[in-house]
Amino acid sequence: MAASSAGMCTVVCNLNRQFAVHFPRTITQNICNNICSRSLWTSVPRYHSQPQIKKKSAVRELVGVVGLEIHAQINSSTKLFSGSQVGFSAPPNSQVSFFDASLPGTLPVLNRRCVEAAVMTGLALDCTINRKSLFDRKHYFYADLPAGYQITQQRVPIAEGGTLQYSHLIGHKQGQVVTKSVRIKQIQLEQDSGKSLHDENRSQTFIDLNRAGVGLMELVMEPDMQCGEEAAAAVRELQLILQTLGTCQGNMAEGQLRVDANVSVHRPGEPLGVRTEVKNINSARFLARAIDYEIERQMEVVGSGGTVLNETRAFDFKSGQTIPMRDKEGLQDYRFMPEPNLPPWWCTTVVLIDAVRERIPELPRATRARLVHAFGLRPEHSFTLVNEDGLTEYFESLANMTRAEPKKAIGWVIKDVLGLLNQQGRNVSQSPVSPRALAQLLDLLEDGRVSSSAAKTVFQELWKGSGRSPAQIVEEQDLGLVDDSTEIQRICQSVIDSHPEEVRAIRAGNRKVLNKLMGLVQKQTKGRADPVKVRAMLEEGTS
C-alpha cells in the first residue's frame, strides 16, 4: 500500500507540474496534498528517524565513492533533430519547430554537426567510436517535452570506454600537482528537455520549449573518485577540453554543462554502498561542496546504525546541504524501445572519423606541460594561464616579444593584467594593454631605464588606453631612472642623518628597518632611483 500511495503521489505531482499551464495550481495541488498526506503514514521512514548513535571508529573506516553523469550542450547552431535555432535567453517559444512541438506527421532529421562534436569529444578522451550506432526512446514523464518521451542512446552509444586525465593542485601554496584519471563509460547523444517557468504570484506554470530538442552529449563516468575536490577538478578539466575542441561552450551558469553526482560510502574491500544522486549542479565549486556534504551525511547515517536510502537529492547552495527530492527504491522502468523513425546508422556515413581526429587541437593537459617545459613556469602558473580563455596566447606573445625572462613576465600577466581584468569583469581579449605594449615596458625595466615602481605607474597609464607607448609615458612624466650618483648619494645621506633611531636599529642588527629608509629615498626621487644602488649606499652609510 505504501508503494502504491507513493507512486500515485508522484503521478499526481507530475500531472500538477504539466497541466498547471492550463489549470490554476491550487486545484491540482489540493488533490496532490490529499494523496501525499495519506501516503506519508505508510511510507518508509527516512534515515533521520533512526537512532543517532555516534560510531566514530566505523565512520573513519568508510570512504566515499563518486561517479558523475555530465550533460554537455553541443555547440551547434541548430537542434539535434530539427532546424530550429539554438540561442540562450531568446524570447520564450520563439525557437520551436513543428517537430519540437511534436505535431503529428513530423519526423526527426539527425544533425551532422552534433555527431561530429560527439565523435571529436570521444576521440579526445581516448574512447572507442562505435561505427554502428542506435537511437532509443526513453519513456519517462517529461512535463516539458511534448512528445512524452526522449530520444537518447541506451543500447549502442556513439562512444565507449575512454579516460579523462585530470590534475589538481595541493599543498600549502598549491604548488604540488596530483594527476589522476577517471574512466569514461560512454558518451551518448540525446535531446534536452524544455524549461518550466513557475509564476508564484498567479499560481501557474508555463512551458518554454526553446531548449526542447537541443543536442546534448551525456558523458557517464565510472565511480573512480573519492571526494568533491577530485570531482570538481575532473569537471573543470572536461570543461576546458570541450571549450578547446569547440564542441561545447561549457558555460555552467547558462546551463550548458550540468552535472549529476552519484555518491555512496563503503568500507574498502566491501561492495559499494547504496548510492544517492545529487541532480543538476551547475558549478564546480557547488559540486565539490555537495559531494563532500553528502559523503559526510552518509558516513554519519551508517556510523549511527542507519540505512542510506536510494534517492534523488538536490543541493541547496545557501545552506550547503543536500535535500531529498524523490525516492528511487524501485527499479526505474523507462520502457526503452528502438526509435522507429531513426533506423540504425553508420557513423562513417555521417562523419569521417580520421579527418575529425586530425583536427583535434592541443589539449589543456599538453598545453600546461609545454608551458612548464618551454618557459620554466611553476605548475600553478600554467594552470592559471590555461584556465583563462586567451591568457595562454597573451603570455606566449609577450614572452616572444620581450627580453625579460618568462618568470618575470608571468608575474605581470597574472598579478597586473589578469588582476585588473578580474576587478573590472573583462576577458583577456578586452585588455587595454596589448602584449606588445607590455613587452616594451618590460624591456625598459630590463634595460634599467625605469625602476620597478615607475614601471607600475607606466602600466597604470597604459591601462587607461591613451594610445601612448611606454617610452612616451616615461618621457612625458619624467619617470626615467636618475643617473646622477652624486644626487642619489646626497639624498641617501640626508635620509640617514634625519633618522638616527632607525640607523641605530640597523646597526643593532635589525636589517628590516633598511627597507623603511629605502622607501623614504624612493619617495624623494619619485621612484626614479635604482633600488640596487640605493640599498648599497644606505648599507654603506649605516654600517
Residue-number span of the structural domain to which 454 is assigned: 388-476
Q: What is the spatial distance between Cα 482 and Cα 474, in angstroms, rounded to a whole number?
A: 12
User: How would you label 74-96 residue by residue, b for 16+ Cβ within 10 Å and e otherwise?
Assistant: bbbebbbbbebebeeeeeeeebb
Residue 117 within any structural domain of the chain: yes
Q: For 249-280, how does the pLDDT look when each residue is reduced to its tens digit (9 = 90+)?
A: 999 999 999 999 999 999 998 999 999 999 99
Q: Are residues 278 and 408 in the same domain?
A: no
* pLDDT for the residue 539: 86
Contact by Cβ (8 Å): 528, 481: yes
| Burial (Cβ within 10 Å: 0-12, 13-18, ≥19) of residue 22 | exposed
Whether 416 is in a domain gets the answer yes
What is the grid cell recorded at 88? 540562450
Amino acid at 478: D
Chosen domain end from 441, 456, 476? 476
- Distance (Å, whole) CA 98 – CA 150: 16
**Do 513 and 438 share a structural domain?**
no
Chain segment 140-151, per-residue pLDDT in tens: 877 889 998 999
**Is the residue at 379 inside a domain?**
no
Domain-embedded: residue 339: no
**pLDDT (tens digit per residue) in 502-538:** 888 888 888 888 888 888 888 887 777 777 888 888 8
If you ran DSSP here, which 8-state letter would residue 326 be given?
E
CA distance 299 to 310: 15
Task: For the beta carbon of residue 483, count every other beta carbon within 10 angstroms.
Answer: 13
Q: Which of 443, 476, 509 is the last residue of a domain?
A: 476
With respect to residue 366, please indicate whether it lies within any of the assigned structural domains: no
Q: Which of 518, 120, 534 is nearest to 358 (CA)?
A: 120
Q: Identify the band that residue 372 occupies on the pLDDT scale cut at 50, 70 and 90.
A: very high
Partnered with residue 150 across adjacent β-strands are 138
Separation CA 444–CA 472 (nearest Å): 11
Question: How many Å separate Cα 249 from the centre of its chain?
Answer: 11
Q: 473-486: per-residue pLDDT in tens?
A: 998 888 887 776 78
Residue 114, pLDDT > 70, answer yes
Task: Give me the pLDDT at residue 2, please.
Answer: 39
Q: How high is the pLDDT of residue 14? A: 42
Which spans in 126-252 are helix H? 228-245
- Same domain for 276 and 416, yes or no, is no
6, pLDDT greater than 80: no
355 membership: H or E segment, kind and range: helix 353-358
Q: Is the pTM of this model over 0.85?
A: no
Grid cell 641617501 is found at: 492
Same domain, 224 and 324: yes
Burial code of 256-289, b = ≥16 C-beta within 10 A, e = fewer? Answer: bbbbbbbbbbbeeeeeebbbbbbbebbbbebbbb
Q: What is the CATH number of the domain that holds 534?
A: 1.10.10
Q: Is residue 512 part of a domain?
A: yes
Query: Number of folded domains in the chain?
Result: 3
Within 402-446, residue ranges assigned H as helices are 406-411, 419-424, 435-446
Q: Are residues 492 and 462 in the same domain?
A: no
Cβ-Cβ contacts under 8 Å for 507 (sequence gap 6 or more): 542, 543
Q: What is the pLDDT of residue 93?
A: 94
State pLDDT tens for residues 304-325: 999 999 999 999 999 999 999 9
Residue 23: pLDDT band (50, 70, 90) is very low
- 252 Cβ contact partners less than 8 Å away, ≥ 6 residues apart: 239, 258, 282, 283, 284
Same domain, 521 and 433: no
Please, which residues have CB within 8 angstroms of residue 330's CB and are 6 or more apart in sequence?
Answer: 3
Pair 134, 155: CB distance under 8 Å: yes
Q: What does the block give as the cell for 378? A: 611553476
- 246, pLDDT greater than 80: yes
Half-sphere exposure of 327 (CA within 13 A, CB side): 17
Q: Do residue 69 and residue 174 come from a single domain?
A: yes
326 with 451, same domain: the answer is no
Kindly state whether residue 380 falls inside one of the protein's structural domains: no
* Claim to verify: residue 193 and residue 317 sit in the same structural domain: yes
The pLDDT of 82-108, averaged and rounded, is: 94
Give me the pLDDT at residue 274, please: 93
- Looking at the structure, tell me whether residues 411 and 503 fall in a common domain: no
Of 457, 439, 412, 445, the residue nearest 532 (C-alpha): 445
Tally the residues of the chain. 543
| pLDDT of amino acid 59 | 52
Cα–Cα dist 83/432, whole Å: 40
Q: Name the residue among 361, 416, 413, 421 with its Cα closest to residue 392.
A: 413
Q: pLDDT class for 110, splitting at 50, 70, 90?
A: very high
379-387 vs 391-401: helix crossing angle, rounded to 10: 120
What's the pLDDT tens digit per position in 439-461? 999 999 998 888 888 899 999 99
Q: What are φ and ψ of residue 495, in 5° steps?
A: -65, -40
Q: In this predicted model, what pLDDT tens digit does every residue of 44-79 receive, in sequence order? A: 333 333 334 344 444 558 999 999 999 999 999 999
- Residues paired with 313 in a beta bridge: 278, 324
Strands 257-266, 136-138: parallel, antiparallel or unpaired by DSSP? unpaired
Q: State which of 434, 456, 476 marks the end of a domain.
A: 476
For CA atoms 36, 37, 40, 41, the dihedral sign is negative
Which pLDDT score is estimated for 535? 86
In this structure, are 229 and 324 located in the same domain?
yes
For the cut 60, the answer to whether the pLDDT of residue 178 exceeds it is yes
Asked whether residue 324 falls in the same domain as residue 401, the answer is no
Burial 394-410 (b: 16+ CB within 10 A, else e): bbbebbebbebebeebb
Domain-embedded: residue 124: yes
Q: How far apart are CA 94 and CA 90, in angstroms?
A: 7
Query: CA-CA distance, 239 to 254, in Å (whole number)?
Result: 14
